[in-house]
Amino acid sequence: MYNNGVGSWLHRRRPKSGPKVALVAGEREISYDELSERADRLANALRRRGVARGDRVAYLGENDPAFVETFFAAGLLGAIFIPLNTRLAAPELQYQLQDSGARLLVNGSALEALAAAAAEDTGVRNRLVVGQAEPAPTAQAGLAVERGIELYEQALAAAPAEVIDETVTHDDGALILYTSGTTGRPKGALLTHGNITWNCINVITDMDVNRNDVALMISPLFHVASLDMGLLPMLLKGATVVLESRFEPGQVLRTIQERGVTSLNGVPTTFQMLCEHPDWDATDLSSLDKLTCGGSAVPVRVLEAYEGRGLGFSNGYGMTETAPGATTLPVWRSKEKAGSSGLPQFFTDIRIADPLGQVLAPGEVGEIQIAGPNVIKEYWNRTDATRESYADGIWFKSGDMGYRDEEGFLFVSDRLKDMIISGGENIYPAEVEAVIVELDAVASVAVIGVPDDKWGEVPRAIVTLREGTSLTEASVRAHLDGRLARYKIPKSVVFVTEMPRTASGKIRKAELRRQYAG
C-alpha cells in the first residue's frame, strides 16, 4: 500500500484477523472484516462530500464504533481527525472547529443540539448524525440536506466499499488534540501518523499487549490516553476492544466478568468508584492482568483494594504532546518504587534540565524534558508556541518539575504550570479566570485546585471585587454555566479583600494554595 499511516492498519490487519471480533458495543459485535469495510465506505462517503488529503474531520460523541470508523476513514484519505470533548460548552467547541478549519463534523444524535450550536458560523459544511434518530418531517428533511446534515448510516449505505489507497507517510498529520495553556486559549497538538505509531509500539513493548487481550474502554476516546494507549495498540495487535458509551461502575464490573476483560485503562477516580461499588467483592476479576492508570496519583486505599484482589497498577507519566506516553512504572516494581512515574518508554528519552538547559544529576530537581518519535513537532498554526516548547529544537519542555533516581526512575515533584487535574480532566486556571474576569464586579481572580475525595482535586476561585460592587458564589457559577464545561466551573468561590502579589504584581498562587486549598 502507498498508505503507511494509521488509516492502513485495518487493511493490513484484515487478512490476519478478519472474522475475529474487533469491537463490542453493547450487544453488537463487529469483526475486523466488517470494521475495515465500514471504514472504506465512510472514507468514500467523506470523499464524496469534498474531504480530501489534509482536510480536517471532527467527531463529537460518546464511545461508539462510529468514532473508530471515522478515525480510520480520515486516515485512509490522508485527512486529519479531531476528537472533540463532549463535556465542553458550545463556544469552546466552536473555537476548536474554527481554529482547526474542520470542514465536516460527525456527531452523535444525543448531542445534536450541542453540535448544531458549535458548528454555527464555522467552516463545517457537512454533518453526519450517528444514531437511531427518527426521520425528520419532509420539509425539515429537505432543509437538513440543504444544510449538509445527513444520517451517518444512510451515508455509509450509499457509498461504495472500494479501497482508497492515498499516499500517507509517518510525517503527515493524523490527529489534532486541543490542550489548553497558560494563555487561556487551547492549542491544537498535531500528532503525526509516526507519533501515533511509535506510541503504540511503546505500549505494545512495555505492556505486553497481545492478540488475546480484551480491552475495556471506560474512559472517553476523545482523551488521548484512552485512544492512543488503549484502543489503537489493541487494534494494531488484533485484540478485541469493548466500548462503554458511559461509565457506570456496576455495568463495568458485569462486563469484566461476562466478557473476560484482560485490560482496563482509566484514571484514579474511575478505579476508586469500581472498588467502592457494592458488587466489587462478588465480581470475578480473574481475567484482569493489565491495569493502566494515569492522570494523577492513585490513593493508597485504592491500591490496597486492588492488591487485595491480586491486582496491581502500571502507572505512568505523559501528556498530549507525547501521544501521550512518556514513562511507565512496571507493576513488579510498583511497591519498591512507590511514588515514581517509572522509566522512559522503550523508544522515548527523558532528561531533567535546569533553566539554562544543563542536564542535572540524579536526585536534582529540574524541568522534565522529553524526546522521541512519539513527541509532536508542532502545534497547529502556532509557530511561536511550537518554538517556545522545545529546548535545542529536540527536547519537549513539559513544564513539569521532577527528578530521576540513580536507576533512572522518574519522580514528578511539582508542576510549573498551574494545571488542575480533576477526575482525569485537565483544567487550566487561565482559561477559567479569563471568563470570570468578564464580570464587571471582578477586580482580580485566581483559580487553584483543592483536594476532593472523589475527583482528586476540583477548582476553587479566589476573587477580589471592585470597590462598591457585590457578587455571590452563585452568580459567578451562573456566569460560567454554558460558557465552560461543567467540570471546569469552580465548585467554590472565596472572596478576599486583596491578593498576595510579587514585586512585579503577579499573583502568588503558591501562597493562595497555602491559605485556601484546605
Contact between 416 and 399 under an 8 Å Cβ cutoff? The reply is yes
Mean pLDDT along residues 1-27: 97
Angle (deg, nearest 10), helices 32-48 and 9-17 = 150
Mean pLDDT along residues 467-493: 95
* Per-residue cell: 37: 469495510
Q: Which of 158-167, 178-187, 189-198 has the lowest mean pLDDT?
A: 178-187
Domains of the chain in sequence order: 6-14+36-156 (3.40.50.980), 420-516 (3.30.300.30)
Rounded percentage of the chain residues whose pLDDT exceeds 70 = 94
Beta strand 442-452 with 456-465 is antiparallel
Helix (H, G, I), strand (E, B) or coil at 326: strand
Give alpha helix (H) positions in 401-517.
429-436, 473-480, 509-516
* Per-residue cell: 317: 507519566
Which residue pairs from 139-148 have beta carbons closer than 8 angstroms and sit at least 24 positions apart in sequence? 148/49
Band of pLDDT at residue 300, cut at 50, 70 and 90: confident
Q: How far apart are CA 18 and CA 237, in angstroms?
A: 13
| Confidence check: pLDDT of 143 > 60 | no
At 212-233, the pLDDT tens digits run 999 999 999 999 999 999 999 9
Please, what is the Cα angle at 68 between 159 and 51, to 5 degrees? 45
Position 267 scores a pLDDT of: 85
Q: How far apart are CA 226 and CA 222, in angstroms?
A: 7
Which residue pairs from 466-472 have beta carbons closer than 8 angstroms and sit at least 24 positions apart in sequence? 466/440, 466/441, 466/442, 469/440, 469/441, 470/441, 471/439, 471/441, 471/442, 471/495
Q: How far apart are CA 494 and CA 280, in angstroms?
A: 38
Q: How far apart are CA 135 and CA 140, in angstroms?
A: 9
Q: Which helix (H) or strand (E) holds 427?
A: strand 425-427
Contact between 465 and 476 under an 8 Å Cβ cutoff? The reply is no
Residues with Cβ within 8 Å of 78's Cβ and at least 6 positions away in sequence, in order, are 3, 5, 7, 52, 53, 54, 166, 167, 168, 172
Contact between 349 and 355 under an 8 Å Cβ cutoff? The reply is no
| Confidence check: pLDDT of 182 > 60 | no
Among 290, 13, 10, CA closest to 161: 10
For residue 230, give the amino acid letter.
G
Among 308, 243, 315, 253, CA closest to 285: 253
Band of pLDDT at residue 268, cut at 50, 70 and 90: confident
| Confidence check: pLDDT of 136 > 50 | no
Beta strand 173-179 with 187-192 is antiparallel
Position 396 scores a pLDDT of: 97
Among 317, 249, 251, CA closest to 25: 251
Q: How far apart are CA 76 and CA 9, in angstroms?
A: 9
Position 502 scores a pLDDT of: 67
Residues with Cβ within 8 Å of 52's Cβ and at least 6 positions away in sequence, in order, are 77, 78, 79
Helix (H, G, I), strand (E, B) or coil at 472: coil
Global confidence as pTM: 0.88
Among 21, 24, 42, CA closest to 33: 21
Pick 376 or 423 by higher pLDDT. 376
Give alpha helix (H) positions in 397-517.
429-436, 473-480, 509-516
Position 264 scores a pLDDT of: 96
Complete DSSP assignment for 196-219: HHHHHHHHHHHHT--TT-EEEE-S
Pick 446 or 133 by higher pLDDT. 446
At 306-361, the pLDDT tens digits run 999 999 888 899 999 999 999 999 988 887 888 889 999 999 999 999 989 999 99
Q: How far apart are CA 39 and CA 45, in angstroms?
A: 10
Among 84, 101, 102, CA closest to 93: 84
Q: Count CA atoms closer than 13 A to 497's CA, side-chain side.
A: 0
CA dist list (Å): 159 to 43, 46, 65, 173, 498: 9, 9, 18, 25, 63
Q: How far apart are CA 249 and CA 454, in angstroms?
A: 14
Mean pLDDT along residues 384-391: 94
Band of pLDDT at residue 135, cut at 50, 70 and 90: very low
Position 18 scores a pLDDT of: 97
